[in-house]
Structure 1
Amino acid sequence: MPRTLDRPRLLAACSALALSVTLAACGGSSGHKGPSASVQHGVLTVSTGSGQSYTANFNPFSPNALQATDGMVYEPLFFYNTSKSGDIQPWLGTSYSWADGGKTLHIKVRSGVTWSDGKPFTNADVAFSFANAMHASTLNAYGLPLANVTTDGTDGVTLTFTQSAYTKAYFILGKTLMLPQHIWGSIPDAQKTTVLNSKPVGTGAWTVKSVASTLVTLTARKDYYLTGYPKFSTLRYVGYNGNNSADAAIESGALDWAGGFIPDIKKNYLAKDPKFTLVNNPLAVTAFIPNALQGPTADPNVRKAISAGVDRAFMSQSVYDGQAAATNPAALLTPNFSSVLDPSLPTAFETGQDKVDGYLTASGYTKGSDGYYAKNGKRLTVTVKMVSGWTDYLSLGQLAQQELKKVGIDLQIDSEAYNTWAADQASGNFQMLLSSFGFTPDPRAYYDQIVDSRLAKPLGQQTTGGNYGRYKNAAIDDALDHLAETTDVNAQKPYFYAIEQQFVKDMPVIPLMDAQNEQEFNGNNVTGFPTAADSYAAASVWLFPDAAWVAMRLSPAK
């Protein structure tokens, strides 16, 4: 899966929607959070997807950074459990508190931490990491409205914002990676997005041993500050050229942890070994991401016609055996965020030839004798880019291609290597993408990353924090700003409803279904992974920050 957007949950008493309290008030999580005796032996072999060729790029500002960059090498201040809203654990930070109506954030930083080169981690490093976002828009992936950053004593940092920033809490505390000032401070801002950083120095539980085209090897730090972690001595990422070869490795037991799409998974995986385990917890929505600035998909009517022309239930049944649940026109994950879904909105998508005809006719298209719609003599052709090795997405694309042909829309598929796809996504070099979005524990952050116009850089410049389609809507931006001004859930609902109403009107992304999220664990080799009964983190091997939280807690099977 791509290193892109990240993902959601239901509101809880100590929810991320009520971030005016300190971390200490949020209580604990499962027994996995405490330290234990260190094992430090064995090799944990994982695969985060297919269609990838590894290059030693550990630059956290790069869209092509290797998966290990986020969480394994560089860490955030707190762990936000994507599977359990309100479960927020100390990481490099120990506590935080809001003031001034969300315009001021006080953070306490952990002591006794060292960078992997032996130098101490300090609150000056934290201040530097946030100050980067103030220096250049290219370094402000999450559109943080920072006004000032200061250090307080030996363990404090205070962030002040130009406006209330409650909506950005997850991105500030749980997504922004801490960087060593003594290394990154000497790199000019203009070069920070382009250096490969092939020998990274981080606070994480792992250091980079080697990188080859299909294998990345990490070594566990013996001086990691969380006593007893990690438990494996070596972590290996194995790359494959496509789902078929990745699935063969999973099914043979060669991988300990993977997130591959396996057709008929009960027969082809679970039945092969009683210790093979599947964890499947949908955390996102699979969707077409249209370019809202240029090309045919810049027209909302074209986007809505594409939506009306696809049969979502048939696609889910054909590709995922019906396991990918239905979503809604507001693209809001349910039941995760049902409490903020506008009850006045339709729950079903418009479908059928008459709907397609209505939208395209309204935009000046006419259907020709060849059965396709056209305008000014040019056929309505939309190209969707997807990763060549992701066979389930390719199947979805092919089904959509067949269905849209029936209603008069020419959908072309452009499959490309993952690194190329990720670069195109970041730069806006596409008409449509097939991807997924979500993976946040907070519905404010969920919509912020999809439709906040302030995340979107001009076409050709890298956008890495979300809104890859460059959609802009002043009413949505205003509603997001109002959401950031209160922690009262009931007071927030009108602004959620306003966002959802605009979303349904414009369809800035075209939701298809809940995203498949099957994660495979080989119980012959590994124990301690999240389960439905103990969801101490999301089980997704490619998901930051959860994957790093899980990796250090996995143990070799006895």
Structure 2
Amino acid sequence: MRLLTCLFPAALAASVALTPARAADPTPQPGGTVRIYQRDNPASASILEEATYSTNVPFMSVFNNLIRYKQDVPQNSDASIEPELATSWAWGPGGTSITFKLREGVTWHDGKPFTARDVKCTWDLIQDKGPEKLRKNPRKLLWSNVQDVVPNGDHEVTFKLGRPQPSLLAMFASGYSAVYPCHVTPAQQRTRPIGTGPFKLAEFKQNEMIRLVRNEHYWKKDRPYLDSIEMPIMTSRATAMLAFQAHKLDMTFPLEVTPPILRDIRKEVPAAVCAFGSMNVNSNLIVNRDKPPFDNPEIRKAMALAIDRKAFVDILFEGKAEIGGALLPAPNGVWGMPDDMKKTMLGYDPDVAKNREQAREIMKKLGYGPDHPLKVKISTRNIPAYRDPAVILIDQLREIWIDGELEPLDTPVWFAKLARKDYAVGMNLTGNSIDDPDQTFYENFACKSERNYSQYCNPELEKQFDAQSQEMDVEKRKKLVWAIDQQLQNDVARPIILHMEGGTCWWPQVHGFTQMVNSSYNGYRFEDLWIEH
């Protein structure tokens, strides 16, 4: 009987050190089906339009990127980037352009050839420059430095930039940077996506099933190994875990295994293989700054002071989560600020009683008290990873006379409300697709970003976003990044509660999956996944 392998990777080196020695995997076997439950009903299959790995996990394998992170390396970094639809890339003089040579002989799932024109169409779509429009465009601002995309024949394309940008390779390697075909509309990509990836969509039944089948014309002739991947949609995490333990599923939804669940699996299924660790997803409080009375910065300040971060960490993760600012803390993250800086930020003083007394004084001055609480709905997504911390948040806000009522919302409704800014207070999770400040700052805190759900806007600070973005010296860039992150927390832009950790479990017959430690979005190409049979 194979014992549970449980990894707690603090970084790539740490994860290697903590992994027990084991025999090399056997030779991959082609064929078979792997069943992975899907945690909720994705709003659509369009990777360019969505902002959740409920879309990346089932649909990343339908597409390819120009370049990608190696799928068997836990820690994403520039050193783990490899070609995909591009065969090579080269920077131009001064770092203001990058040219990709493209793979020849690649076809879309409908048989039409992939060319440089498709690359241009994709980034024109993202930048809202083409005739077609995305319904949602959460990462548009990430690409604002791209001035033009210029094909040179069918198999070469150059991205021209306004300034140097060290993060650009990481952005291209993100699981959100899928290349779309020119000849397929964005509307079709939401329900019947066409890609060049190792799997094709066979079935997408809302609230029931997602099924992928092998792309027999994939440009990697010996991939994928599997015939199909089936993903029954199971919104109850408890039900899904019982199904896994009963061997009705081969693998859990990635990163959904919590410490208590891991203990249960260790007890009930000692043969299971599990990975557990950081994922670059943070829980955060979002407050709509345009909705009275939350347009008053003093109320937002009081809310930030009410948060007991250690209680969240202990209750939800049994101590296995990290406290930090907007950037993933070290050692899993490169850009997280030092501990001594964290303690100086608003609400981060470990003396919670003192913080809350200060918060209550603010609330008293605004006319609130035990006999006159501020009543508000606390909106959140209706899955456990969101609901559980929302319940704790409601309890903590009561300490400063804010009486919250939980408003759980199904995934499509949740993201639609956030996009419309149609909420007052919410418990949110923010996943970062790459471990780089550009993605974090521009996507979540820039004035015009669709994902700036709290409507925080600081044009002067945004100039510092640009300054750190083009700084080539890593140590100098870190100091700029820390100062920005510190101001975001003191401005109550989107108070970060904790950086989550989670796990994935699979039966030992399943091979070829690696859980990444600094992104929950980039590891689901699944072309190397195989099952003994």
Question: Per-residue deviation at 1:338?
Answer: 5.5
The one-character-per-residue Cα deviations of 1:348-375 (angstroms, maximum 9, x if unpaired) are 7135354345456558843545355xxx
Stretches of structure 1 lacking an aligned partner (at least 5 in a row): 1-7, 13-35, 185-191, 373-378, 457-462
Question: Per-residue deviation at 1:56?
Answer: 6.8
Question: Could you tell me which residue of structure 2 aligns to residue 282 of structure 1?
Answer: 278
Residue 140 of structure 2 is aligned to residue 142 of structure 1: yes
User: Contact 1:282–1:516 at 8 Å: present in 2 too?
Assistant: yes
2:75 aligns with one of 73, 77, 83: 83
Q: Taking structure 1 as reference, are residues 109 and 409 closer, same or farther at Cα in structure 2, changes over 3 Å only? A: same
Question: Per-residue deviation at 1:79?
Answer: 1.2
Indicate the SS of the match to 2:378.
strand
Stretches of structure 2 lacking an aligned partner (at least 5 in a row): 1-8, 14-25
Question: Per-residue deviation at 1:399?
Answer: 2.1
Aligned mates of 2:188, 2:220 — CA distance in 1: 30
Question: Per-residue deviation at 1:195?
Answer: 5.3
Question: Could you tell me which residue of structure 2 aligns to residue 72 of structure 1?
Answer: 61
Which one-letter code corresponds to 1:244 in the other structure? A
Indicate the SS of the match to 2:441.
helix
2:386 aligns with one of 379, 393, 405: 393
Question: Could you tell me which residue of structure 2 aligns to residue 211 of structure 1?
Answer: 204
Aligned mates of 2:271, 2:314 — CA distance in 1: 27
Aligned mates of 2:334, 2:57 — CA distance in 1: 33
Aligned mates of 2:156, 2:476 — CA distance in 1: 31
Question: Could you tell me which residue of structure 2 aligns to residue 552 of structure 1?
Answer: 527
Which one-letter code corresponds to 2:37 in the other structure? S
Q: Taking structure 1 as reference, are residues 62 and 274 closer, same or farther at Cα in structure 2, changes over 3 Å only? A: closer
Question: Could you tell me which residue of structure 1 aligns to residue 489 of structure 2?
Answer: 504
Question: Could you tell me which residue of structure 2 aligns to residue 474 of structure 1?
Answer: 459
Indicate the SS of the match to 2:310.
helix
Aligned mates of 2:334, 2:190 — CA distance in 1: 42
Question: Could you tell me which residue of structure 2 aligns to residue 15 of structure 1?
Answer: none
Question: Per-residue deviation at 1:108?
Answer: 1.9
Residue 49 of structure 2 is aligned to residue 61 of structure 1: yes
Aligned mates of 2:109, 2:43 — CA distance in 1: 21
Aligned mates of 1:239, 1:399 — CA distance in 2: 27
Q: Taking structure 1 as reference, are residues 473 and 100 closer, same or farther at Cα in structure 2, changes over 3 Å only? A: farther
The RMSD of aligned alpha carbons is 3.3
Question: Could you tell me which residue of structure 1 aligns to residue 170 of structure 2?
Answer: 170
User: Contact 1:10–1:335 at 8 Å: present in 2 too?
Assistant: yes
User: Contact 1:148–1:160 at 8 Å: present in 2 too?
Assistant: yes
The one-character-per-residue Cα deviations of 1:175-200 (angstroms, maximum 9, x if unpaired) are 3221111223xxxxxxx4x5564322
Structure 2 counterparts to residues 374-453 of structure 1, below 5 A: 379-390=373-384, 392-449=385-442, 451-453=444-446
User: Contact 1:164–1:481 at 8 Å: present in 2 too?
Assistant: no
Q: Taking structure 1 as reference, are residues 242 and 140 closer, same or farther at Cα in structure 2, changes over 3 Å only? A: closer
Which one-letter code corresponds to 1:399 in the other structure? I
Using the aligned pairs only, state the percent identity: 19
Q: Taking structure 1 as reference, are residues 278 and 173 closer, same or farther at Cα in structure 2, changes over 3 Å only? A: closer
Question: Per-residue deviation at 1:252?
Answer: 2.0
Question: Per-residue deviation at 1:384?
Answer: 2.4
Indicate the SS of the match to 1:257.
coil
User: Contact 2:43–2:411 at 8 Å: present in 1 too?
Assistant: no
User: Contact 1:296–1:382 at 8 Å: present in 2 too?
Assistant: no
Indicate the SS of the match to 1:131.
helix
Aligned mates of 2:128, 2:60 — CA distance in 1: 23
Indicate the SS of the match to 2:191.
coil
Indicate the SS of the match to 2:528.
coil
Aligned mates of 1:468, 1:495 — CA distance in 2: 24
The one-character-per-residue Cα deviations of 1:85-113 (angstroms, maximum 9, x if unpaired) are 22111111222233354432222222221
Aligned mates of 1:297, 1:173 — CA distance in 2: 38
Q: Taking structure 1 as reference, are residues 450 and 381 closer, same or farther at Cα in structure 2, changes over 3 Å only? A: farther
Residue 306 of structure 2 is aligned to residue 312 of structure 1: no
Structure 2 counterparts to residues 224-243 of structure 1, below 5 A: 224-243=218-237
The one-character-per-residue Cα deviations of 1:115-134 (angstroms, maximum 9, x if unpaired) are 01111111111111112214
User: Contact 1:388–1:394 at 8 Å: present in 2 too?
Assistant: yes
The one-character-per-residue Cα deviations of 1:495-551 (angstroms, maximum 9, x if unpaired) are 21331231232131222222132111122x312222xxxx6x4598xx432122xx2
Question: Could you tell me which residue of structure 2 aligns to residue 484 of structure 1?
Answer: 469
Indicate the SS of the match to 2:524.
helix
Is the deviation greater in 136-145 or in 503-512? 136-145
Residue 41 of structure 2 is aligned to residue 43 of structure 1: no
The one-character-per-residue Cα deviations of 1:445-503 (angstroms, maximum 9, x if unpaired) are 353255441552xxxxxx2xx33323212233112211222322123133213312312
Q: Taking structure 1 as reference, are residues 235 and 539 closer, same or farther at Cα in structure 2, changes over 3 Å only? A: farther
Aligned mates of 2:488, 2:44 — CA distance in 1: 39
The one-character-per-residue Cα deviations of 1:266-286 (angstroms, maximum 9, x if unpaired) are 441122223212211212222
Is the deviation greater in 257-266 or in 511-520? 257-266
User: Contact 1:287–1:512 at 8 Å: present in 2 too?
Assistant: yes
Q: Taking structure 1 as reference, are residues 339 and 331 closer, same or farther at Cα in structure 2, changes over 3 Å only? A: closer
User: Contact 1:148–1:161 at 8 Å: present in 2 too?
Assistant: yes
Question: Per-residue deviation at 1:54?
Answer: 6.0
What TM-score comes out, normalization by structure 1 length?
Answer: 0.79
Q: Taking structure 1 as reference, are residues 70 and 507 closer, same or farther at Cα in structure 2, changes over 3 Å only? A: farther
Question: Could you tell me which residue of structure 1 aligns to residue 265 of structure 2?
Answer: 269
Indicate the SS of the match to 1:414.
strand
Q: Taking structure 1 as reference, are residues 94 and 475 closer, same or farther at Cα in structure 2, changes over 3 Å only? A: farther
Q: Taking structure 1 as reference, are residues 68 and 354 closer, same or farther at Cα in structure 2, changes over 3 Å only? A: closer
Which one-letter code corresponds to 2:140 in the other structure? Y
1:130 aligns with one of 102, 114, 123: 123
Aligned mates of 1:321, 1:344 — CA distance in 2: 24
User: Contact 1:287–1:435 at 8 Å: present in 2 too?
Assistant: yes
Q: Taking structure 1 as reference, are residues 164 and 70 closer, same or farther at Cα in structure 2, changes over 3 Å only? A: farther
Paired residues, number:
492
User: Contact 1:283–1:517 at 8 Å: present in 2 too?
Assistant: yes
Which one-letter code corresponds to 1:74 in the other structure? F
Aligned mates of 1:308, 1:54 — CA distance in 2: 34
Aligned mates of 2:518, 2:248 — CA distance in 1: 19
User: Contact 2:50–2:138 at 8 Å: present in 1 too?
Assistant: no
Residue 510 of structure 2 is aligned to residue 526 of structure 1: yes
Aligned mates of 1:114, 1:292 — CA distance in 2: 47
Structure 2 counterparts to residues 536-551 of structure 1, below 5 A: 537=516, 543-548=520-525, 551=526
Q: Taking structure 1 as reference, are residues 37 and 299 closer, same or farther at Cα in structure 2, changes over 3 Å only? A: farther
Which one-letter code corresponds to 2:415 in the other structure? A
User: Contact 2:81–2:173 at 8 Å: present in 1 too?
Assistant: no
Residue 324 of structure 2 is aligned to residue 328 of structure 1: yes
Q: Taking structure 1 as reference, are residues 317 and 299 closer, same or farther at Cα in structure 2, changes over 3 Å only? A: same
Aligned mates of 2:365, 2:319 — CA distance in 1: 34
Question: Could you tell me which residue of structure 1 aligns to residue 160 of structure 2?
Answer: 160
Aligned mates of 2:518, 2:36 — CA distance in 1: 12
What TM-score comes out, normalization by structure 2 length?
Answer: 0.82
Q: Taking structure 1 as reference, are residues 328 and 62 closer, same or farther at Cα in structure 2, changes over 3 Å only? A: closer
User: Contact 1:292–1:508 at 8 Å: present in 2 too?
Assistant: no
